[in-house]
Amino acid sequence: MVRLLPPVLTAPLFPGLHQHLIGLLQGLTPADWTRPTVAGEWAVRDVVAHLIDVQARRLSAQRDRHAEPPERDISSYADLVAHLDALNAAWVVAARRLSPRILMDLLEVVGPQLGELMAELDPDAVARYPVAWAGEEESKNWFDIGRDYTELWHHQAQIRAAVGAPPLTEREWLNPVLSLSLRGLGRALSGVTPSPGRSLVLEVEGEAGGIWSALAEDGEWALYGGEVEDASARVTLDADSAWRLFFNALTADDGRERMNAVGDPDLVVAVLHMRSVMV
pLDDT per residue over 201-247, tens digit each? Answer: 999 999 999 999 999 999 999 999 999 999 999 999 999 999 999 99
Alpha-carbon Rg for the chain, nearest whole angstrom, is 19
Q: How many beta carbons lie within 10 A of that of residue 270, not counting itself?
A: 24
Asked if the structure places residue 174 within a domain, the reply is no
Q: Write down the pLDDT at residue 139.
A: 98
Q: Write down the pLDDT at residue 276.
A: 96
Asked if the structure places residue 240 within a domain, the reply is yes
Residue 105 φ then ψ, to 5°? -60, -40
Cα separation, 200 vs 214, in Å, equals 5
Asked if the structure places residue 87 within a domain, the reply is yes
Tens digit of pLDDT for each residue in 46-66?
Answer: 999 999 999 999 999 999 999
Domain boundary among 113, 143, 168: 168
What is residue 64's three-state secondary structure?
coil
Q: Is the domain of 110 the same as that of 222?
A: no
Q: Is the domain of 133 the same as that of 218?
A: no
Asked if the structure places residue 225 within a domain, the reply is yes
Domain boundary among 168, 197, 229: 168
Tens digit of pLDDT for each residue in 24-40?
Answer: 999 999 999 999 999 99
Asked if the structure places residue 175 within a domain, the reply is no
What is the CATH number for 212?
3.30.1050.10
What is residue 185's three-state secondary structure?
helix
Asked if the structure places residue 50 within a domain, the reply is yes
Compute the average pLDDT of residues 259-264: 98
Q: Return left, alpha or beta for 17; rule: phi > 0 is left, psi -120 to 50 is alpha, else beta.
A: alpha
pLDDT band at 261 (very low <50, low <70, confident <90, very high): very high
Tens digit of pLDDT for each residue in 132-186?
Answer: 999 999 999 999 999 999 999 999 999 999 999 999 999 999 999 999 999 999 9
- DSSP 8-state assignment for residue 6: P
Q: Is the domain of 45 the same as that of 132?
A: yes
Number of domains in the chain: 2
Q: Is the domain of 139 the same as that of 253?
A: no
Q: Is the domain of 25 the same as that of 162?
A: yes
Asked if the structure places residue 277 within a domain, the reply is no
Range of the domain at 96: 7-168
Report the mean per-residue pLDDT for the chain.
Answer: 96
